[in-house]
Amino acid sequence: MFNFDLQKILQIFEYNQGDPLLFGTSSFLITFFFLLVIYRLLSKYKNPRILFLIFFSLFFYYKAAGIYFLLLIFSAISNFYFGKWMAYYKKQTPRRLILLSSLILNLGLLGYFKYTNFFIKIVTDLSAGSFDPVDIFLPIGISFYTFKSLSYVLDIYFEAMEPTKSFRDFSLFVFFFPNILAGPIDRASQFLPQLEEEFFISKADIGRALLLIIAGLIKKNMIADYISLNFVDRVLGDPLRFTGTENLFAVYGYALQIYCDFSGYSDIAIGIGLLLGFKLMDNFNSPYQATSIADFWRRWHISLSSWLLDYLFRPLQMKFRNLRNYGNAIALLITFLLCGLWHGASWSFVLWGALHGFYMSFALLFQKPKNKFYKKIGLFNTKLLRVGQVFITFHLIVFTWIFFKVSDFDKAFNILDQIFNFFKPEVVPQFIESFTPTFVLIVFGYVLHFLPRSLELKTADQLSKLPFVIQALVLALVIWVVAQVQSADLQPFIYFQF
Partner 1 sequence: MISDKFKSVICKELDLDPADIEVNDETKANEVPGWDSLNHVNVILAIEKEYNLRFKSLEVLKCKNIGDLQKLVDSKLG
Enumerate binding residues for partner 1 (CB under 8 A). 92, 158-160, 294, 309, 313-315, 317-319, 321-322, 324-325, 327-328, 364
One-letter amino acid at 345 equals A
By beta-carbon proximity to partner 1, the closer residue of 131 and 158 is: 158
How many Cα atoms sit within 13 Å of 419 on the Cβ side? Answer: 17
Cα torsion through 259, 143, 153, 284, rounded to 10: 0
By beta-carbon proximity to partner 1, the closer residue of 321 and 395 is: 321
CB of 284 to partner 1, least distance (A): 19
Say how many residues make up the chain: 498
By beta-carbon proximity to partner 1, the closer residue of 50 and 316 is: 316
CB of 297 to partner 1, least distance (A): 10
CB of 220 to partner 1, least distance (A): 31
By beta-carbon proximity to partner 1, the closer residue of 120 and 363 is: 363
C-alpha separations of 281 from 34, 50, 362, 410, 419 in Å = 25, 20, 30, 38, 38
CB of 360 to partner 1, least distance (A): 9
By beta-carbon proximity to partner 1, the closer residue of 166 and 317 is: 317
CB of 366 to partner 1, least distance (A): 13
CB of 194 to partner 1, least distance (A): 20
Report, in angstroms and rounded to the nearest whole number, the Rg of the chain calculated over CA atoms: 24
Burial classification of residue 330, based on how many CB atoms lie within 10 Å of its CB (0-12 exposed, 13-18 middle, 19 or more buried):
middle
For the question of residue 343 being annotated catalytic, the response is: yes
DSSP secondary structure, 368-425, as one string: HHHHHHHHHTT-TT-HHHHHHHHHHHHHHHHHHHHHHH-S-HHHHHHHHHHHHHS--G
Give the integer Cα–Cα distance in Å for 48 and 497: 33
460 contacts 211 by C-beta, under 8 angstroms: yes
Give the integer Cα–Cα distance in Å for 101 and 108: 10
Give the integer Cα–Cα distance in Å for 449 and 198: 36
The single residue of 301, 343, 356, 449 carrying the catalytic annotation is 343
By beta-carbon proximity to partner 1, the closer residue of 142 and 192 is: 192
- Return the active site residues: 343
